[in-house]
Structure 1
Amino acid sequence: MTPVVGETQTYSLDDLTRVPWVLGTHLHPDAGPIGRAPEGSRVLMIEAHDFARRKPYHHDKLTLVFSGMRHFRDELRERGYAVTYIKADSFGDALSEYFADHPDDEVVLMRSPSHRSAERFEELVRDAGGQLAVVQNELFVGTREAFDRWANATDKQPFRHETFYRWMRRQTGVLMTDDGNPEGGEWNYDGDNQEFPPDGWESPPVYHPDHDDLTTETSEWVSEEFDVWGEEDGFVWPVTRAQALRKLTHFVETRLPEFGPYQDAMRSDDWAMAHALLGSSINLGLLHPWEAVQEIEQAYYDRTDIPLNSAEGVLRQLIGWREFMRHVYRHSMPRLSDANQLDAPHSLPEFYWTGETNMECLRQTVEDVRQRGYSHHIQRLMVLANFATLWGVEPKQLNEWFNATYVDAYHWVTTPNVVEMGQYGDGVFATKPYVSSANYIDKMSDYCGDCYYYKTKDTGNKACPFNALYWDFLDRNEDELRSNHRMGLMYSHVDSKQESEEMAEIRDRVTTLREKAGYGEL
């Protein structure tokens, strides 16, 4: 499998001293160096443990990575490869061990999307006395070079998702007609994907892989070896390519028709809704995104039960948003990692770890993450990131939390999603803060009905914190945001609250909320 937008790098591993080095996020047998290595070749895999000790990662995230690597090792051996699998505290220790045994080898590594990873690996290999060749990452739909050529040549803003997405649609031909127009006449059907399901709607069943003893043993080892967070029972994520392919097929056959209209909805005790749940498999390399694109698009054309807004909605994530995040990240780092253009000063509230809050939307969402290392995109953006932005959490802290707690999270994924989209940290592509009061959460969920707080109150006893925090956020960031043309209507309301002196009551309410948070009573 290779990218379909841009040119694939040409190289050979016929010389058996050129050895594929497979990272834990490159677990596709047909992509990159391993896809070119002849049967019988030596393969290097390093299971480094030191990263897992740096923060309280979700149990399921570590289980997923380590079990995925161990299964891939065994599958390669069954195919006839001679896999050198080294468990070590660090990559440096493992590389020193490897090159002491194989001093003449050159290891060949697919470039990781993480910032400066290639340079860091080059340093480690050089320090170990070895040789390293870094080659193109083939686990995306498009290449870095293709994006850069287009970005340099286009007269439009390349760091606007809709601009990029339309370019990718044209380049790939996905959901495009023979005359070069988008299927159905529109590029984007997001307006059809914001409904809340009616009473009695049942979400389609979720595929749960049948995990073997190796995964069970890995899960138990993770619990014993590391200081993990989250629930340790009920592991639901694919760890092999076969499981990931079955999950893709199950989504297309069973869940895709229901995906579109309700993809933004949040419902109590329904963690999966009709979402694809493929992110962890794609980000590990168990699935290539183009495989998913092809199967979903073909099903849309072959069947009559898949509405266009369902097919377009999920394909937009695969050829649009995921690819866009990669390019935003690599062009904006390292600045983006520490970005904080609104000078948010506060620490992440403890209830992001404990779930102990009277706000039902946050309590349920944190519980979803604690259970499985997952919640869907609107919970991430409009509950978790929304509250953190309104509260004034330093973006880097929220980014670290996402990186530790989600099974599909890696620095290249979370940084543009959390720091920029979630918290308006830089301005590289977000045109306004994505914040809201309780009104949006009430519209798109059933959380507010059972909440301790009153969704309609801004101030006073039991007034929903989202409401006072929303107006306080606009008030305290007025110098930075009032000139934003997309914020004009909101600031007309701010003006009214300032003139009526209601804003003073709102500030008092926010002071009370911060005191309650300090006592663990929010």
Structure 2
Amino acid sequence: MTLWLLGDQLYPEAAPLQRHDSVLLVEAHEFADRLAYHPQKLTLLFAAMRHARDDLRDRGVDVTYLRAATFGDALDDYFAANPGASLTVMRPSSHGAADRLRELVESRGGSLSVVASDLFVTSPAEWDRWTDGRGDGYRQEQWYRHVRRETGVLMDGDDPVGGDWNYDEQNRETPPDDWDAPPLPTFEPDDLTREVHAFVTERYGDHWGDADLDGFPWPVTRSEALAALDQFVETRLPAFGPYQDAMLQGEWALAHSLLSPALNLGLLHPREVVDAATAAYRDGDADVPLQSVEGFVRQLLGWREFMRHAYREAMPGLADANQLGQERDLPPLYWTGDTDMACLSAAVGHVRRRGYAHHIERLMVLSNFALLYGVDPAALNRWFHLGFVDAFHWVTTPNVVGMGSFGTDLVSSKPYAASANYVNRMSDHCASCPYDPDETTGEDACPFNSLYWDFLREHEETLRGTGRMGLVYHHVDDKDDAEWRAIRDRAADVRADAANGDL
């Protein structure tokens, strides 16, 4: 029997791969005509697939590698050569994908067995046991502690190492003025990657984003991914914890791991990444503080695993969730980066240049502005999906629709809405921005401020009753009618300027 290995399932030690001596890989191209995917994302995906093909062949695996417009076209060729063949596939992470693949195979006279994915730390069955009886009241922190207990990661018997489960309060520092970001990994594209890049730039030449491979930081092979992991643990993990929420002009990566693309393609397994980080702390490396290791582990065993299961459980409704009824289009600045708002211009520029922005830029700048502006969650989700090299539907949808847009309260009990105060506290952007973070109204006031208060007032009926919004609405109540008129006028001007590309 042959294993159909999908392009985001490239982990060479996956259990199903060990049980099959032949593999089918399909490089389909037509899907990328539907959205203007970032050229570096497509280069990364196709290059990783072709390198995985060659690595498997070097290990003695019989690999059939088909390039076609669609999966259906490739399967026509496959079953013409292998009539009645039986295939196995690890369950895809995207909702409904397993059923669609089975239909494609069976309609061509073959059969498809779907087996459990071996690419996560926790299983759907474990999630179902944990959520049984909890209703809708579960949250990521509870899940995170459960997974820590079950895996023994950063545990001292029944207690967390260091005495606390979460060191988030120590992960909110801003670097001093003389701080230099640690060096980044770079991977010089080999001939195969350059061949893929040439194909992508010719086939999808009008797609959004910078196609330049200069300083390409994304591993496309298993060996490069392992090197990237080692480089992070040895070089950037110590500073990751305290500065993980910071934003600095001229720094697109700071001390972040940059491992999410490799993880989401399967070039790395999340457990081996967690083990590498915890080993650096456990082995007594004084340069790796607990707050850094715990913060990194929380991203993987906490958010990543939680989001995967939340997506699985909440689809298909999650994709179109829009509890606030927001319907505006993305303003042009998300495509051009052309805005005087320093933080927003920088974040969009990072995505356009690298197909990447770190988690605070994603949540508190890119998503926060869209939330306050009133963007349709599905439109923002499409932008994230096409623009980020690490974006797949299972991970962007709960993060962007659920968390960033508050399209549902599935993953958060309140919206992650913030005024300019947050950006000013966590970055140096405001110092060089023409907008004043301390002003709410007037032409020089930071757009975040009027949009923030206008958003709270517009959605008061939905938000006021949530337990964590009570203090905020005390401040809403303190404003008189004259102040509200000024706020609404400024917010209307901000939205009009953004819509016209003049913000």
Normalised by the size of structure 1, how large is the TM-score?
A: 0.94
- Which sections of structure 2, spanning at least 5 residues, go unmatched? none
Q: Is the contact made by 1:32 and 1:136 (CA closer than 8 Å) also made in structure 2?
A: no
- Residue of structure 1 aligned with 2:267, choices 270, 286, 291: 286
Identity %, equivalent residues? 54
Tell me, in whole angstroms, the C-alpha distance in 1 between the residues paired with 2:292 and 2:337: 32
Cα offset for 1:470? 0.4
1:205-220 matched pairs, under 5 angstroms: 205-220=183-198
Structure 2 equivalent of residue 375 of structure 1:
357
Please tell me whether residue 421 in structure 1 is matched to residue 403 in structure 2.
yes
Structure 1 equivalent of residue 253 of structure 2:
272
Please tell me whether residue 509 in structure 1 is matched to residue 487 in structure 2.
no
1:343-362 matched pairs, under 5 angstroms: 343-362=325-344
Structure 2 equivalent of residue 391 of structure 1:
373
Tell me, in whole angstroms, the C-alpha distance in 2 between the residues paired with 1:189 and 1:301: 17
- Which sections of structure 1, spanning at least 5 residues, go unmatched? 1-17
- The CA deviation string for residues 15-63 of structure 1, in whole angstroms up to 9 with x for no partner, is xxx10111100111110422222xxx33111001111111110111000
- The CA deviation string for residues 101-132 of structure 1, in whole angstroms up to 9 with x for no partner, is 11142111001110011101011111121111
- Residue of structure 1 aligned with 2:100, choices 120, 128, 153: 120
Q: Is the contact made by 1:386 and 1:435 (CA closer than 8 Å) also made in structure 2?
A: yes
1:115-194 matched pairs, under 5 angstroms: 115-152=95-132, 159-178=138-157, 180-194=158-172
Cα offset for 1:150? 2.0
- The CA deviation string for residues 438-473 of structure 1, in whole angstroms up to 9 with x for no partner, is 010000001111112111111112211100000000
Please tell me whether residue 48 in structure 1 is matched to residue 49 in structure 2.
no
SS in 1 for 2:338: coil
Q: Is the contact made by 2:84 and 2:109 (CA closer than 8 Å) also made in structure 1?
A: no
**Alignment: residue pair count:** 499
Tell me, in whole angstroms, the C-alpha distance in 1 between the residues paired with 2:238 and 2:137: 32
1:11-410 matched pairs, under 5 angstroms: 18-37=1-20, 41-152=21-132, 159-178=138-157, 180-226=158-204, 227-233=206-212, 234=214, 235-302=216-283, 303-410=285-392
Tell me, in whole angstroms, the C-alpha distance in 1 between the residues paired with 2:299 and 2:318: 22
Residue identity in the other structure for 1:448: C
Tell me, in whole angstroms, the C-alpha distance in 2 between the residues paired with 1:373 and 1:248: 19
Structure 2 equivalent of residue 14 of structure 1:
none
SS in 2 for 1:184: coil
Residues 433 and 507 from structure 1, CA distance in 2 versus in 1: closer, same or farther, beyond 3 angstroms?
Answer: same
SS in 2 for 1:515: helix
Residues 309 and 156 from structure 1, CA distance in 2 versus in 1: closer, same or farther, beyond 3 angstroms?
Answer: farther
Cα offset for 1:500? 4.7
SS in 2 for 1:418: helix
Cα offset for 1:97? 1.0
SS in 2 for 1:261: helix
Tell me, in whole angstroms, the C-alpha distance in 2 between the residues paired with 1:485 and 1:151: 22
Tell me, in whole angstroms, the C-alpha distance in 2 between the residues paired with 1:519 and 1:24: 39
Cα offset for 1:144? 0.9
Tell me, in whole angstroms, the C-alpha distance in 2 between the residues paired with 1:158 and 1:438: 31
- The CA deviation string for residues 367-408 of structure 1, in whole angstroms up to 9 with x for no partner, is 001111001000000000000000010100000000000001
Q: Is the contact made by 1:159 and 1:328 (CA closer than 8 Å) also made in structure 2?
A: no
Tell me, in whole angstroms, the C-alpha distance in 1 between the residues paired with 2:502 and 2:49: 42
Tell me, in whole angstroms, the C-alpha distance in 1 between the residues paired with 2:107 and 2:88: 16
Tell me, in whole angstroms, the C-alpha distance in 2 between the residues paired with 1:203 and 1:252: 14
Q: Is the contact made by 1:156 and 1:163 (CA closer than 8 Å) also made in structure 2?
A: no
Structure 1 equivalent of residue 501 of structure 2:
520
Tell me, in whole angstroms, the C-alpha distance in 2 between the residues paired with 1:169 and 1:158: 20
Tell me, in whole angstroms, the C-alpha distance in 2 between the residues paired with 1:32 and 1:405: 32
Q: Is the contact made by 2:331 and 2:498 (CA closer than 8 Å) also made in structure 1?
A: yes
- Could you tell which deviates more after superposition, 280-289 or 226-235? 226-235
- Could you tell which deviates more after superposition, 297-306 or 307-316? 297-306
- The CA deviation string for residues 268-302 of structure 1, in whole angstroms up to 9 with x for no partner, is 11111101110000000000011101111111111
Cα offset for 1:159? 3.1
Tell me, in whole angstroms, the C-alpha distance in 1 between the residues paired with 2:137 and 2:220: 35
